[in-house]
Amino acid sequence: MKTKILILGGTTESRQLASALDERFGDNAQIISSLAGRTKNAAPIAGEVRVGGFGGEEGLASYLKSENINLVIDATHPFAEQISNNAAVAANKIGVPRVLLQRPSWQLPENCDALFVPDMAEAANIVARTARKVFLTIGVNELSAFEGTPKVHFVVRMIEKLRIQPGLNDFEIIYARPPFELADEKKLMRDHDIDALVTKASGGAATFAKIEAATSIGARIILIRRPPPPDGDIVSNIDDAIKWIEKSINQF
Ligand code: NAP
């Protein structure tokens, strides 16, 4: 019988994993990638794709049971805290092995002016006190934390077209999709005279250039700390995820 593997996705790594599993296990496994459905033009993914929430941890547990899922790989974004916690609880409840594939944190350049903060509210406080021109690369959901910040011009970078304009006092929006190159990031920050970058401490190679660029122009980097991962197995790359799957299959 085929091993049914659910990948909780929405990241570059989750797409790479789907391709790697397709190649490694071929017809011996059924690979299902799950997306929240936030992105309109999601990149192609190997194997099957399902879209939309499960209905909390209960809904996910029901899905795992009714679809006879054998293994869960949580390859969601490090800041997708809710779905990761739901996956941990649901898989544990149903007795399905689960692993978190979490990309390594960035190794910050030694000479950077970096400040870690717990949340966007604290980032907004620091920005209000210390910055004039701020590059915001935080996604759409938490822009409101910066509303009402006086005397700051925000350069907001988005991947998806915004449906509603942000309520920031003074801003412009740039649309672009990673990966980003160092030379382009430097030019963008220089052209906009950026003195602070606000970003989640997401990790990943595709967006690291902004950290290097901010360092090279002397801009402060305000990083939102990652939420803690749920208890359980963690791997940090695709090879180790495959090894975890092989080990789990051998234990069936
Ligand atoms: P979240 O806050 O952790 O999850 C909120 C709800 O969205 C979950 O409870 C679940 O709904 C649904 N959901 C999230 N990921 C899902 C998935 N892969 N498949 C099916 N349902 C999912 O998630 P988020 O931070 O909004 O992120 C949503 C998606 O965008 C994730 O897939 C994540 O990998 C990706 N992403 C997030 C960020 C970020 O900064 N947060 C950045 C890049 C990509 P139900 O409770 O109804 O199941």
Annotated domain spans of the chain: 3-103+228-250, 114-224
Ligand 1 near 54 CB (within 6 A): yes
> Which protein residue's CA is at the shortest distance from atom 10 of ligand 1?
53
- Please tell me the distance between residue 124's alpha carbon and the centre of ligand 1 in angstroms: 24
- Please tell me the distance between residue 35's alpha carbon and the centre of ligand 1 in angstroms: 8
Ligand 1 near 83 CB (within 6 A): yes
Alpha helix stretches (DSSP H) within the chain: 12-25, 56-66, 81-94, 120-130, 182-191, 209-217, 238-250
**């790359």: which residue's tokens?**
237
10 Å Cβ neighbour count for 198?
Answer: 27
Burial class (CB in 10 A: 0-12, 13-18, 19+), 9: buried
DSSP code for 144: G
In one-letter notation, the amino acid at residue 62 is S
Residue 40: predicted pLDDT: 80
Q: Do domains 3-103+228-250 and 114-224 have the same CATH topology?
A: yes
Can you give the pTM of this predicted structure?
Answer: 0.95
Q: Taking the CA atoms of the chain, what radius of gyration do you get in angstroms?
A: 20
CA angle 222, 228, 229 (to 5 degrees): 130
- Give the SS3 label for residue 177: coil
Q: Give the C-alpha separation, 57 to 23, whole Å.
A: 30
Give the position, in ligand 1's atom list, of the atom nearest the Cα of 34. 19
Structure token digits, residue 252? 């069936």
> Of 170, 168, 154, which Cα lies nearest the Cα of 222?
154
Residue 14: predicted pLDDT: 97
Give the position, in ligand 1's atom list, of the atom nearest the Cα of 200. 40
Residue 29: predicted pLDDT: 96
- Please tell me the distance between residue 18's alpha carbon and the centre of ligand 1 in angstroms: 18
Structure token digits, residue 150? 């006086």
Q: Give the C-alpha separation, 188 to 214, whole Å.
A: 10
- Please tell me the distance between residue 11's alpha carbon and the centre of ligand 1 in angstroms: 10
Per-residue pLDDT of the chain (252 residues; tens, 9 = 90+): 899 999 999 999 999 999 999 999 999 999 999 999 988 878 899 999 999 999 999 999 999 999 999 999 999 999 999 999 999 999 999 999 999 999 999 999 999 999 999 999 999 999 999 999 999 999 999 999 999 999 999 999 999 999 899 999 999 999 999 999 999 999 999 999 999 999 999 999 999 999 999 999 999 999 999 999 999 999 999 999 999 999 999 988
Give the position, in ligand 1's atom list, of the atom nearest the Cα of 9. 18
- Please tell me the distance between residue 81's alpha carbon and the centre of ligand 1 in angstroms: 8
Q: Give the C-alpha separation, 195 to 205, whole Å.
A: 23
- Ligand 1 site-directed mutation target among 77, 202, 223, most atoms within 8 Å of CB: 77
> Which protein residue's CA is at the shortest distance from atom 14 of ligand 1?
36
Q: Give the C-alpha separation, 252 to 127, whole Å.
A: 52
- Please tell me the distance between residue 17's alpha carbon and the centre of ligand 1 in angstroms: 17
Element (DSSP H or E) covering residue 131: none
Task: Say yes or no: domain 3-103+228-250 is CATH 3.40.50.1000.
Answer: no
In one-letter notation, the amino acid at residue 46 is A
Ligand 1 near 32 CB (within 6 A): no
Q: Give the C-alpha separation, 127 to 141, whole Å.
A: 18
Dihedral, 75, 76, 77, 81 alpha carbons, nearest 10: -130
> Of 154, 156, 159, 153, which Cα lies nearest the Cα of 180?
159
Choices 3.10.590, 2.60.40, 3.40.50, 1.10.1760: CATH for 114-224? 3.40.50
